[in-house]
Each structure stands twice: as C-alpha cells, then as structure tokens.
Structure 1
C-alpha cells in the first residue's frame, strides 16, 4: 500500500460513526440520570415538538426506518411515556403523544441535556459545535 492510497482514517463513515459513539456516550452520561437513553430523549423531544405526529412522519423526521422506530418506541410506550392512539377507524395510522409522565421525564432529561450541551461545547468549542451542527443537519437534508 502506498501512502497515497486511502485508509480507514480517510473514511467519512468511520469518522462520523466514531464521533457519534463518543458524543452519544457523553449525552448518555447526562440524560441517563433522568432514566432515558440519548436516543429515547431525542424521540421524546421530537414527539413533544409535534404532538399527534404519526409513525411515518416521525420516522421521516428522525431519518429512521419505520421498523427501527417501532422498536425504539416500545420501551417508551411500555413505561407509559408515549401514547399511540389510532387516528380514526378508516386508517391504521396512530397519533403519538407524550403522557404526563413523558412530559415530566422530558423536562428532567432536558435539564441534563443542557449539562451535556455545555460539556460538549466546553470540549469542542461553542462556534465549532454550531458549525458542526449546521453541517450535519445539511447532510441529513441532502437528497
């Protein structure tokens, strides 16, 4: 292999996945204190932003496969944090909402999320973090 050949260190996927694991671990330490994972926190926040959202809408917003979303929502429904009610008899679509317990958990987790945000920005830099978020959000809106 010559020095001009790309290596795994040149791989965008490798770098993004490694960074995602690092960032996830940081956020897990914080929001985990509220009894949810970082992934569950993002789902609770997304449902809170759009009460009554359907599974399909939420899957699109979260850039997730619907079957993955269903599996991710099961523990939140089991623990009484998220409700799923059929919209009407003519459709199989269900409306997702937070229960009172879900809103309370989201509030507690949001306080921990603020701590995680501060820690990340202290380590990475506030301006760099803002640019990174902008770039990553642009990436997920590419088609």
Structure 2
C-alpha cells in the first residue's frame, strides 16, 4: 500500500514571517532571512496543495542563540486512511468492545492537524462501558 504522506507538491510555499520558501522535496530546508536571537518564529503552510492537507509540527517558538531545528512539515492525501492511529489505517468501526453493538459517540473535535476525533464508549461483553476514541482524516 502506498503511503498517504507526501511532501508539499507544486512548490506550495511555506512561510516564516514575510519569508516564502517553496518546498520541492523531502529533506532539510532553510529560509533566506535570519531571525534575530530572542525573536519569535512561526512557520506555516501558505497554501494547501490540491487534494492534500499539510501541517507544521514544532513550527513556532522563540529563537535562543542557535539555528531553529525540529520543524517538520507533513502532508497527507485528503480522505485517506490514518495509518498513524492504527497500523492498517482502517477507520470502519462497529462494536468496539465486542459487546452489544451499542457504540456511542459523545464528543467531537479536530486536532492541530485537522484530523477528526470522536470520543465515546462501547459496552463490552461483560456489560461494562469502555471508553473509545475514533480518529478520521478529513
């Protein structure tokens, strides 16, 4: 199965302040404008590539005497399964705890990367209520 994770395609720009950078492949990247020590940085994806959702991890903070490292940019195909949450990425669900099939979603939200999270519960085969978290890629 082909991985749903991709780099930014079609030279979609990444932004740090007014500094734009086109990411064309996997690997490290550097902006042309240095950020002064003690200043804040905020790296974002300016435009989402067609058919993809991209996110930045560790993209904001304060510069403290060294190059900023650890910023990661990831993209996934819209509507793809989420292998980071389950090894096969399967999102289909029914009867989570092998009980009576009465699975209930109680709360819904999105995380920082846009994934949809639903919390709820399912009665297990012993009649006890187990907590469940479902996660979907939009």
TM range (shorter): under 0.3
Q: Compare relative contact order (CA 8 Å, sep 6+) and give the higher one, 1 or 2.
A: 1
Question: TM-score scaled to structure 1, two decimals?
Answer: 0.24
**Greater helix fraction, Structure 1 or Structure 2:** 1
Question: TM-score scaled to structure 2, two decimals?
Answer: 0.25
Bigger radius of gyration:
2
**Greater strand fraction, Structure 1 or Structure 2:** 2
